[in-house]
Amino acid sequence: MPCYNEHGTVSRIVDAVLASPLVGELIIVDDGSADGTREVLAGIDDDRVQVILHDRNLGKGAALRTAYAAASCPFVIVQDADLEYDPADYAVMIGPLVDGKADVVYGSRFMGAKPHRVLYFWHYAGNKFLTTVSNMVTNLNLTDMETCFKAFRREVIQGIEIEESRFGVEPEVTAKIARLDLAIYEVGISYDGRTYADGKKIGWRDGFRALFCIVAYSPAGEALRLKRLLPRR
Ligand SMILES: Nc1nc2c(ncn2[C@@H]2O[C@H](COP(=O)(O)OP(=O)(O)OP(=O)(O)O)[C@@H](O)[C@H]2O)c(=O)[nH]1
Ligand SMILES: [Mg+2]
């Protein structure tokens, strides 16, 4: 669980995660929060929880890099610290991994019969655009590349070097798994999107960087070392 300034939601989402019988461990990486989140984390009393603190804010990708390295259970899933993604969906996410069919499962906000909160059209269009460009480069047919709900066999994600420290991690990981000989599945999940008033932080700059990352982490982009052109953040 990457976590940055989520004081309003972190306690509820941690409770919901720990209520799932499928959770063997919960690794929370606090990414330099300064809004009281750390105090909430310090109060958690559960043997399954490991809290790791970043001294300063480094970004979601950096938080995931830290968390993946610490994981020890056979299957790993990313759970954001807001309430947009529901731990009740873990069973459907983990199903293809447990069945031995999948190495990676993406939870799609654009598939299935589960409830999806209706929110910003331009976010939806941006997501669809980024997913489409990513698919053109990777030749995968995903419906939701940017989803937070990505589940992996632990060896798969620990075998990938995460270079993007912020939201560019989503296209980076997608590009890197696409190059490996893996079985990738998608399942429909529910989505309770939050508004900017509720604390949503992603913005249009993240979208531009995601677009660049799709190209930079493609085989051609890697060969041309396009990453050099990315401003470091
Ligand atoms: N925005 C942001 N989030 C971070 C950072 N480090 C860790 N996170 C966590 O990463 C997760 C995703 O960030 P959000 O701000 O929820 O991003 P979002 O716009 O909701 O994106 P989606 O949930 O993928 O739609 C949350 O759990 C954050 O707390 C950071 O530096 N910035
Ligand atoms: Mg979110």
Q: What is the CATH number of the domain that holds 156?
A: 3.90.550.10
Token couple for 226: 């396009």
Q: Would you say 48 and 18 are in contact if contact means Cβ atoms under 8 Å apart?
A: yes
Nearest CA owner, ligand 1 atom 32: 59
Give ligand 1 pocket residues (Cβ under 6 A): 2-4, 6, 31, 57, 59-60, 63, 80-82, 84, 146, 148, 200-202
Distance in Å, CA 202 to ligand 2 centroid: 8
Distance in Å, CA 82 to ligand 2 centroid: 6
Of all ligands present, the nearest one to the C-alpha of 127 is 1
Nearest CA owner, ligand 1 atom 17: 202
Name the amino acid, one letter, at 169.
Answer: V
pLDDT at position 145 is: 98
**Order of strands, sheet of 49-53, starting from the edge strand that comes earlier in the sequence:** 2-3, 26-30, 49-53
Give the separation between CA 168 and CA 100, rounded to whole angstroms: 29
Q: Would you say 62 and 163 are in contact if contact means Cβ atoms under 8 Å apart?
A: no
Distance in Å, CA 100 to ligand 1 centroid: 30
Nearest CA owner, ligand 1 atom 19: 202
pLDDT at position 165 is: 94
pLDDT at position 163 is: 96
pLDDT at position 195 is: 86
H runs (alpha helix) in 99-152:
121-138
Nearest CA owner, ligand 1 atom 7: 60
pLDDT at position 200 is: 77
pLDDT at position 23 is: 98
Nearest CA owner, ligand 1 atom 22: 148
pLDDT at position 31 is: 98
Q: Report how many domains make up the chain.
A: 1
User: From the first residue on, what is the mean pLDDT of each consecutive set of 10 residues in the chain (233 residues)?
Assistant: 96 98 98 97 97 97 98 98 96 98 98 91 94 98 98 98 95 97 97 85 86 95 89 69
Give the separation between CA 3 and CA 188, rounded to whole angstroms: 24
Q: Residue 3, SS3? A: strand
Of all ligands present, the nearest one to the C-alpha of 28 is 1
Burial degree of 45 (CB within 10 A; 0-12, 13-18, 19+): exposed
Backbone angles phi, psi at 191, to 5 degrees: -145, 120
Q: Would you say 32 and 57 are in contact if contact means Cβ atoms under 8 Å apart?
A: yes
- Residue 47 domain boundaries: 2-229
pLDDT at position 233 is: 63
